[in-house]
Structure 1
Amino acid sequence: MKNIKFLPSTITITMCFLFIGFNTHAQDKWVAPANADKIINPLKGNTSATESGKRTFKMLCVVCHGAKGKGNGIGGSGLTPKPSDLTSTSVQNQTDGAIYWKLTKGRPPMASYETAIPENKRWEIINYIRTLKK
């Protein structure tokens, strides 16, 4: 069997290509499709839904997004891209429908919650996220 020799530069280039290829989402801004903006929050302004959303957030979302939604949860520390800062203007300026779409569909490393969290609960979480505004 012949020994195959790789030049260090070949290995370096290959490793860079693989790294860039596996982290394409890390570089892309996550934008919901335009039709997501038309999805209306059926629980908007419902204070009991917001309280329920807070409880669900604390059970499911805090691990990555942190207790105050800043994206600094212990479970998110090793993720690429890092969890979003839900208090940020870039998140808070999105429509409820866009946030709902992202929560529903997910994008690695964010899971899809389409089947894991009932629709009503996802809207409750969005109501709570709105209270995190800076």
Structure 2
Amino acid sequence: MKANFSYLLVMVLFIIGGQFTFAQESDWKAPKTADALKNPFKGNAKATAEGKRIYEQMCVLCHGVKGKGNGEAGLTLDKKPANFLAFKVKKESDGVIFWKITNGKAPMAAYEELLTEDQRWQLVNYIRELEK
């Protein structure tokens, strides 16, 4: 009986986990040129702190406090926001994440005109911090 319960629990967690990573399985791919974009703030703690401030103002509502894609507004969307802790996102280059923030793809807004280039890179820094 205990073995069956453990198996059932693992299967439920697998299914639930699959629902939370579904958004990352989308076909949203940045162009190859995005990989060449270099983060001018990589390793800059002050820029990361500024990225956190921007994240809390502009991103947390959809992506959640810890970046799991489970923010209050995000839960209402048909296509769920990215889970920044998912392997697919972790393996993306800083340039790809910057490109996605810049260009958006519905329901994700494009932030090219709302945030400066520096602010978008600062967000990339903070998203990387969420992974830790």
TM range (shorter): 0.7 to 0.9
In structure 2, stretches of 5+ residues that fail to align are 1-22
Give 1 or 2: higher helix fraction. Answer: 2
CA contact (8 A) 1:87 1:133 kept: yes
Letter of the 1:34 counterpart: K
Aligned residues: 110
The TM-score with structure 1 as length reference comes to 0.78
Percent pairwise identity: 47
The TM-score with structure 2 as length reference comes to 0.79
In structure 1, stretches of 5+ residues that fail to align are 1-24
Structure-2 change in CA distance of 1:48 and 1:108 (3 Å): same
Aligned residue number for residue 63 of structure 1: 61
Structure 1 residue matching 2:79: 3-state secondary structure: coil
Query: For 1:26 and 1:91, how far apart are their aligned partners in 2?
Result: 7
Q: Show CA shifts across 1:76-112 (max 9, x none).
A: 1121210000111110110000000000000000000
Aligned residue number for residue 29 of structure 1: 27
CA contact (8 A) 2:24 2:86 kept: no
Structure 2 residue matching 1:84: 3-state secondary structure: coil
The one of 87, 91, 94 aligned to 2:92: 94
Aligned-residue CA RMSD (Å): 1.7
CA contact (8 A) 1:26 1:81 kept: no
State the Cα distance separating 1:27 from its structure 2 match. Answer: 7.8
Aligned residue number for residue 5 of structure 1: none
**Aligned structure 1 segments of 4 or more residues deviating by more than 6 angstroms:** none
Aligned residue number for residue 80 of structure 1: 78
